[in-house]
Amino acid sequence: MQTWNLLEIDAPDGTRDPVVLHTDDEARAVLIRLAPGQELGEHQVKERAWIAVVEGAVTVGSGGEAVDAGSGTLFRFDAGERHSVASEAGARILLLLAPWPGQGHYRGARG
């Protein structure tokens, strides 16, 4: 068993300092702290993505819709679905990507 206290993990540089909590062939878990005013601009990933709001409040956009959400909210996106996440006052989010890596995910040069 492994455990993490998501409220105590240090990520002082916000979105520039994501913390990979765990990764294996099935999934990747990443803690991201959004400093006040920070955002993850519109993007997409090769995997299915789940975003859980751990602390604070966010605005999540997808397909022309925006949802304001606080702690305890869970979002799910299909592989390739474009979305954005922003926080006016700051937040912590848990990002789960599965399967990891998704089909077509760039892995860099292999030797």
The CATH number of whichever domain residue 74 belongs to comes to: 2.60.120.10
Higher pLDDT residue, 45 or 13? 45
Domains in the chain, number? 1
Q: Is residue 92 part of a domain?
A: yes
User: In this prediction, what percent of the chain has a pLDDT beyond 70?
Assistant: 90
Give the residue among 30, 49, 26 at the shortest CA–CA distance from 93. Answer: 30
44 in a structural domain: yes
Predicted model pTM: 0.85
Per-residue pLDDT band at 111 (split at 50, 70, 90):
very low
Q: Residue 92 belongs to what domain range?
A: 36-98
User: Is residue 8 domain-resident?
Assistant: no
Burial class (CB in 10 A: 0-12, 13-18, 19+), 21: middle
Q: Which residues does residue 92 pair with via DSSP β-bridges, in sequence order?
A: 33, 55
β-bridge mates for residue 31, sequence order: 19, 94
Are 62 and 83 contacting, i.e. CB atoms less than 8 angstroms apart?
yes
Model confidence pLDDT, tens digit, residues 60-81:
999 999 999 999 999 999 999 9
